[in-house]
Amino acid sequence: MLLFPSASLDSWFLLLDSFFLYLYVMKVYGITNCNTVKKALDWLKANHVAYEFHDFKKLGISPEKLDEWDKKAGYEKFMNKQGLTWKQLDPEVKESIKTSADALKLLQQKTSMIKRPVIEKDGFLFFGFDETAYGGLIK
């Protein structure tokens, strides 16, 4: 048994509480200046939903995370071909996307092409903002 004499019982409960909150908190991926992300974050705050925010622009996205999303939903679900980033790509780059590996490599380089926000919680994965879907998540 390890003893830490400087830690009070209250501080241990606070630490455990923080740990469990981390385990069950929603993770939101996006870009802070995206209007859809702003709407989603405002909705989460208004509904008192705890979340951790991951900013694609500052933190990037790992190949493992993109692969996980691809396995769960398929890259077509979160590769935004309606946005400016896709539209500004050279036609050769667009045509070179033939496999999920090609798409995921491009998405890691150009995170602005990921449909936002991405919501993860307890196995739930959602791309975009939809109040009805979010409402079902917090019940």
**Considering 26, 28, 29, 34, which one is annotated as catalytic?**
34
User: Would you state the pLDDT for residue 137?
Assistant: 75
Q: Residue by residue, what is the 3-state secondary structure of 25-77?
A: CEEEEECCCCHHHHHHHHHHHHCCCCEEEEEHHHHCCCHHHHHHHHHHHCHHH
What's residue 135's pLDDT?
A: 85
Q: SS3 for 55?
A: strand
Assigned token pair, 85:
């980033």
Q: Tell me if residue 37 is catalytic.
A: no
- pLDDT tens for the chain, 139 residues long, are 334 445 555 554 444 444 444 445 899 999 999 999 999 999 999 999 999 999 999 999 999 999 999 999 999 999 999 999 999 999 999 999 999 999 999 999 999 999 999 999 988 899 999 999 888 877 6
The C-alpha atoms of residue 55 and residue 26 are separated, in whole angstroms, by: 14
